[in-house]
Structures are given as C-alpha cells and as structure tokens.
Chains A and B, each alone.
Chain A
Amino acid sequence: MPDAPSHPQRPLPRRGIERLDLMLLCAEALDLNGGEAMVWLSEEMGFTDLLPNRVELWKRRCSNPLRRTTRRDLPSPAESDALIRICTALADRLYPMLRSLLSTAEPPQLSAQRWQLFEGRLAELLKERFNLRRGGVQRLLDPQEGPTLSRELIQALAFSAGPGGFERLKASLMDPVV
C-alpha cells in the first residue's frame, strides 16, 4: 500500500462523498466497463473486507445526497479511504484519456468530439441514477454550467491519478463547506 494518510481518521464530509462519487461516475462515463473495473480494483487492492461486492460498493456511494436513492449514514474512514484509492487507481488507468481531454495540443475538432461523447455519457448516467430535482444535478446537466463542472471533475481526476494522488485528493475532499 502506498503512503499512509497523515491526517487524523475522520469520516469524509457529505460534500466530499458527493464529489468522490461524481468523480467515480466520470470514470464510468469514460470507460463503459468502469463499474466492473471498480469491483476488480477493489479485489486487486485488497479491499474485499471493506467492500466485499458490488452491492456494498454501491451502498457506500449512495451516501451521496444527489443520488436518487440515498443513505443517511456516511462511510467509515477506512471505507472512504478505500473508495479514494479505487478512484485514484481508476484515474491512473484512464490517465491517457484524461490527458487527451485536457490537452490544448489536440486538434480542436477532435477534442470537441471527445468532450461531447463524455458529456453525453455522463448526462445519461446522471439521469439514470441521480435525483434530477437536486440543484447540484441540474447544474451538471445545464448546457451553460455543466461543461465547466465536468471539466473540473476531469481535471481533479487527472491531478489525483496514481498512488501519489491519494493524499492530495483526500485532503481536498475534506475541505469545509463554504
């Protein structure tokens, strides 16, 4: 296991869980087998005690208040750490795609097509699993505001990819709500 967390073991705040789940959703939008990859990575990284199957993984993600089906309880620090590690490992696998979306050296037309494809898939997943009456979901689906928010999520995935990203991502998910 890479570097150990330096902060005290506190559960992620609700806003942090919301962002983490949206980042995992972006990974699923980029990779059609993203859901399967999460389960596989969880086993590969030795989290079978914490997240033994896809239902348990889904239940932890359902602490996101923007979901259609939400849970009131928050994941324990160990469970949220496992989710963060899975997210950084997924971002590592998807890094070439994340990079191509963020690069300004790509031909603009190709880049626009990639963004369109990603945003389309993300919108499908949001409509399927999230509560469309929530302001946060409406903003993500908004044609004006949505692309900026999607870009922020892709940027966050790129800067937290790999084992070195764990501490960075965790610290940002613990940010207080303003």
Chain B
Amino acid sequence: MKLTNRYEQTSCRLQVEGLPDRSAGQGDQTIGILTGFSLDLAGHTELEGQREHLQAMVAAVLPYARQLLSGVPRTCGAEGDPVAISPHSGRHQLELRSSQPDTPPLTLLLDDAELADLVRCLDQLRLDPRLALPFEQPPLQPLRRRELRHRQPLAQRVAAPLVGVGVLVLSAVVSALLPLQQRPTPAPAANPSAVSSPQRGG
C-alpha cells in the first residue's frame, strides 16, 4: 500500500509518496522506496519529481541556509545538478533544471520567509523517522576564514596591509635621508722615498 507523508508550512507544502522496502525489513509505516514527491510553493508553482530531484533539493537548499546563517550566501548546486539556489538582489533564486531535453530551467524568486518555510519542510523531511532514505548533505562545519573575509568592509580589510606598506616605505625614505657615516679615508700609501725621515740632529 502506498504511503504518503506531508510536511507543511505557511507557504510551502511538501508531500512524499512511497512504499516500505520489505527486503530491508522495514515496517508498514516506513517509506523506504520513494515513488515521487510534490512541492507546492504558494504563489509560485507546484513541482513534481522523483527521489533524485528531492535529494538534489536537500543537498542545495540546506547548505545554502547554512551559508546564510553566517551572512555569506553563495550559490549551492553545481552546473549539472537538477537544483541550484543562489542569492539574487536580497532574495533567493531557486533554479530547477528539468532532465527533459530542450526544457528551459524553472526559476523562482523566494523571499526570506518563503525560503525559511522551505528549509523547515526539508528539515522535517530529513529528520522524519518514518522515512528511511539517505538525504546526504556535506557535514555542517564552521566556514574558513577566507570564506568570511568579504563580510568585513573593504576599508577595514585593506587598512592593515596598507599601514604596513606605508610604514615600510616611510622607514625606507627616512633611512635614505640619514647621512651616512663617513668612512675614515685611508692614509695614502706609504712611499718610503717621499717620506723624509726625521733627521736627527747630532
């Protein structure tokens, strides 16, 4: 018998359908084989797809939300992936690429509230004990220093190196202006013939 699980938020409704995987010894209420899903993003569209599309959505949207929490949103989802999401003038552009040839990608612009709804639905899906499906996503780690660098204003970022270079130039100029200590001129080579030996009186 086909099972249906629903995850709902104000602007987002996700419904997954599937069957228990009997060969893996799953219970009657566990979805181990996903036969399809539908995602209703209110005011936008209703999407339908297969397991790999849903997995691609989890793999793109949740890491994007992680980046947003650090204040450095960046595109998640590679060129050939079915789902990609990127920041777009204060909103979030969700791009859904069809596997059918000659079908242009569907682009949706979500505001923060709509994206938060989608993230909550995907979180509920990922943590649902009634679902025995792998939703892999890269481990959530602190960002590297260079990933956070552009969170700091440019002026602050370049201030320290500029001051360093300035101090170096200034010290070079000052040291160039300092008079060099005159080396004592070497005494002219002793010419025994030119030097008159003191005559001794006597």
Contacts and interface: CB of A to CB of B under 8 A. Distances in A.
B126 interface: yes
Contacts of B68: 155, 159
Main secondary structure of the interface of B (DSSP, over half): helix
A30 B145 CA distance: 32
A142 interface: no
B173 interface: no
B113 interface: yes
B126 A164 contact: yes
B116 A175 contact: no
Interface string A1-40: 0110011000000000000000000000000000000000
A108 interface: no
Contacts of A164: 119-120, 122-124, 126-127
A160 interface: yes
A3 B129 CA distance: 12
B116 A102 contact: yes
Interface string A152-178: 100110111111110111111011101
B151 interface: yes
A170 B142 CA distance: 8
Given A160-B69, A172-B69, A105 B113 contact: yes
Given A163-B123, A164-B123, A158 B116 contact: yes
A165 B126 CA distance: 12
Nearest to B69: A172
A165 to B, nearest CB: 7
A168 B67 CA distance: 9
B17 interface: no
A71 B180 CA distance: 55
A99 interface: yes
B79 interface: no
Contacts of B69: 156, 159-160, 168-169, 171-172
Interface of A: 2-3, 6-7, 95-96, 98-100, 102-105, 152, 155-156, 158-165, 167-172, 174-176, 178
8 contacts: A96-B10, A158-B112, A164-B122, A168-B62, A168-B69, A168-B140, A171-B66, A175-B70
Given A99-B116, A102-B111, A165-B123, 8 more contacts: A6-B139, A155-B112, A156-B69, A162-B123, A171-B66, A171-B142, A172-B66, A176-B144
Interface of B: 10, 43, 62, 65-66, 68-71, 111-117, 119-120, 122-124, 126-127, 139-145, 148-149, 151-152
